[in-house]
Amino acid sequence: MKHDATALASVTWMHLAKIAVLGATLWSASVVPVYAQQPVQQQQYSELPAGEGKDTLIRVCSKCHSPDNVIANGQDREGWENTITKMAGFGAVGTDDEFTAILDYLVKNFPATINVNKAAAAQLESGLGLSTAEAEGVIQYREKNGDFKSIDDLKKVPDLDAKKLDAKKARLAF
């Protein structure tokens, strides 16, 4: 029992240390800490696609770090569940309904893979790091020419940076 308590205490200290490290990183990157910014409700976080759950995500998940800073990669449902559980362990506070809304939002908008034949422009932007013009180019091209079958098809879209596609290759689904 004593052993357990010690282990728990050291885990907690590890988390605190990480939060401190995260805070220091934010400062050194001269990003204004979230708590010093204007109320979160007034921020748009335009990098995050609009949709149900976005407001809840911003409210619950921007207390320690910017939500659009960390959501660089997609995950499947289980992966996002694990992340949210981990955040709750760090001290993220929300009701079950709020965590479910956040989970649904993340699974929908930040999936493990992006289906380039079905994704909306905002999902192509956030998931693959495309510019708005590039994402719209993808949609126009597929409307005109039908579904993409491979990354090589996708590279035929005019003015699309092929290097971005190669970097996100593992995330492309057709």
User: How many angstroms separate the CA atoms of 7 and 102, rounded?
Assistant: 30
> CB–CB of 31/66 below 8 Å?
yes
Q: By CB under 6 A, tell whether 48 contacts ligand HEC.
A: no
Binding mask of the shown chain, residues 82 to 101, with x at each position contacting ligand HEC by CB under 6 A: -xx-xx--xxx---------
Q: Kindly state the greatest CA–CA separation across the chain.
A: 67
Site for ligand HEC in 94-153 (CB under 6 A): 102
Which listed range, 31-39, 62-70, 116-124, 147-155, lies at the site for ligand HEC (CB under 6 A)? 62-70
The footprint of ligand HEC on residues 20-39 (CB under 6 A) is 22
Angstrom distance (rounded) from CA 86 to CA 79? 11
Task: State the Cα angle at 148 between 111 and 103, rounded to 5°.
Answer: 10
Site of interaction with ligand HEC (CB under 6 A): 18-19, 22, 60-61, 63-65, 70-71, 83-84, 86-87, 90-92, 102
